[in-house]
Structure 1
Amino acid sequence: MLPAVPPFLVGMLAAPLVKRVAKPLVRGVIKTSVGLTFEVRRAVIEAGEEIQGLTAEVAAEKLASSARTRGVKLDGEMTAHGAAVG
């Protein structure tokens, strides 16, 4: 019959081995997670910048179209359709 080994004794013997194996594994998982987080943030920032650029372009086109429709030059002067501003 096998002698009864207390669980804490098994834990004391296994702890250094687990520490040696688990620490690099956990470190690698954390390092990869942080790297992925930075990549996702960078992609989101770039997408936001693209959306802001498109928004600015559309707003400028809309403003120019509206000014042409109302007969106003973009510098504030009126064209032949509107009254001349001094």
Structure 2
Amino acid sequence: MPPVVPPFLIGLIVAPLAKRLLKPLVRGVVKTSVGVVMEVNKAAREAGENIHGLAVEAAADMAAARITSSDGHRPTEGAASNG
């Protein structure tokens, strides 16, 4: 029958090894996650700016169209003073 090793002895041996191996791995995962979040935040910000720019352009086009369409229906100042 093989000797029985108590689990706490295995833990005492494995814990330092696991710390040495897992700490860099966890650090890398955290750094990568933070980097991904920052890139997604940047992309979302840029997309919001682009959408805002498009909305401003559309509003300016609509205002210009409204002004040009109302100029055609409005009597001129000279015609109103003559009448």
Q: Same fold (TM over 0.5)?
A: yes
Q: Which runs of 4+ in 1 moved over 6 A?
A: none
**Any residues of structure 2 matched to 1:9-48 within 5 Å, and which?**
9-48=9-48
The structure in which a higher percent of residues are helix is 2
Read off the aligned partner of 1:51 and give its amino acid letter: I
Q: TM-score, structure 1 length as denominator?
A: 0.83
* Separation in 1, partners of 2:73, 2:63: 19
Which residue in the other structure is 2:59 paired with?
A: 59
* C-alpha RMSD of the superposition: 1.6
Aligned pair count? Answer: 77
* Separation in 1, partners of 2:24, 2:14: 16
SS in 2 for 1:2: coil
Q: Report the alpha carbon displacement of residue 27 of structure 1 after superposing the two structures with TM.
A: 0.3
Identity of aligned residues (%): 51
Q: Please give the per-residue CA displacement for 1:13-38, whole angstroms capped at 9, x wherever unaligned.
A: 10000000000000000000000000
